[in-house]
Structure 1
Amino acid sequence: MNAKILTIGHLARETGTKVETVRFYEKSGLLPAPSRTEGNYRSYDQAHLNRLSFIRRARDLGFSLDQIRALLALSDDRSQSCASVDTIAKQHREEVERKIADLQALKAELDRVIDDCGCNIVADCRIIDTLSPRQNTPA
């Protein structure tokens, strides 16, 4: 096999991506369709590897598929200003900050519930009581 040509399995392994995910990225237009061999197998090259690595890294950082699509479009035109890239990154950072705030609030609530637990019997457990659905008593 030519060192520059990758099968879908090789591409998936090189990037830590499942084969099904590679196909999904192709169908969604994030990854361009590869050429085909005479046996009709997908034939990927270095550009596919680089693009899929970009997608994977962006996903690892929590960017949405729409954000990645926009970043890829911007990346494809290297001569333009990166102001749009900054805007996308700043929006994502705001989303991350909101999630961090939500997680900190969750942690505080868990800390409160754990601290309220007297570690006696389950029937008196404040954690179980907090998690249990509230019973509506008839009026």
Structure 2
Amino acid sequence: MSIGQLARAGGVGVETIRYYQRLGLMSLPARPQGGGVSGGTRKYGLPDAERLTFIRSAQAAGFTLKQIARLIELDATSDRVEVRQMARERISALDDQIRDLKRARAALNRLAHQCDDTDSGPCPILTAFEV
């Protein structure tokens, strides 16, 4: 498949794939000979689509591209200890985010109830955001 087809299949833009290639997260297939001044069109296969899926899934789990690069390196080894440690650190960070989001939700919920209770004067929600 072409880079455009790979991008569509992976739900990303062509420039995203090129960016991943520049970072070393994805390989750049060799350009076949022929087909004009610059050669033929590079072809991507199932391993490229799988790598793109891996990257996107790891991003969805909250890993940074630098961390994803390390996960890719570790995939070629049998070092599960570091992979588990990275996962545990990510879980801890997610727990922190969840706690922060719950606090924000509770605060907004209190402000919304205060807003319900007052029909005059400044809105408690808006005044809470003033510095």
* TM category, shorter: 0.7 to 0.9
TM-score by length of 2: 0.86
CA distance in 2, matches of 1:52, 1:124: 50
Q: Name the SS for the 1:55 alignment partner.
A: helix
Query: Could you tell me which residue of structure 1 aligns to residue 80 of structure 2?
Result: 82
**How much is the aligned-residue C-alpha RMSD, in angstroms?**
1.6
CA distance in 1, matches of 2:10, 2:123: 46
Percent identity of paired positions between Structure 1 and Structure 2: 34
CA distance in 2, matches of 1:89, 1:55: 15
Q: 1:108 aligns with which of 100, 106, 109?
A: 106
Unmatched runs of 5 consecutive residues or more in structure 1: 1-5, 134-139
CA distance in 2, matches of 1:23, 1:40: 18
Q: Which residue identity is paired with 1:21?
A: T
TM-superposition CA deviations, 1:82-135 (whole Å, max 9, x none): 1111011001101110100110110111111111113524x42111111223xx
| Residues paired across the two proteins, number | 125
**Aligned counterparts, 1:1-139, within 5 A:** 6-38=1-33, 39-77=39-77, 80-117=78-115, 118-121=117-120, 123-133=121-131
Deviation at 1:30, TM superposition (A): 0.7
TM-score by length of 1: 0.82
CA distance in 2, matches of 1:14, 1:76: 25
Q: Name the SS for the 2:83 alignment partner.
A: helix
CA distance in 1, matches of 2:100, 2:87: 20
Unmatched runs of 5 consecutive residues or more in structure 2: 34-38
Name the stretch that deviates more: 111-120 or 92-101: 111-120
Query: Could you tell me which residue of structure 2 aligns to residue 137 of structure 1?
Result: none
CA distance in 2, matches of 1:69, 1:81: 15
Do the aligned partners of 1:35 and 1:44 also contact (CA within 8 Å) in 2? no
Deviation at 1:40, TM superposition (A): 4.7
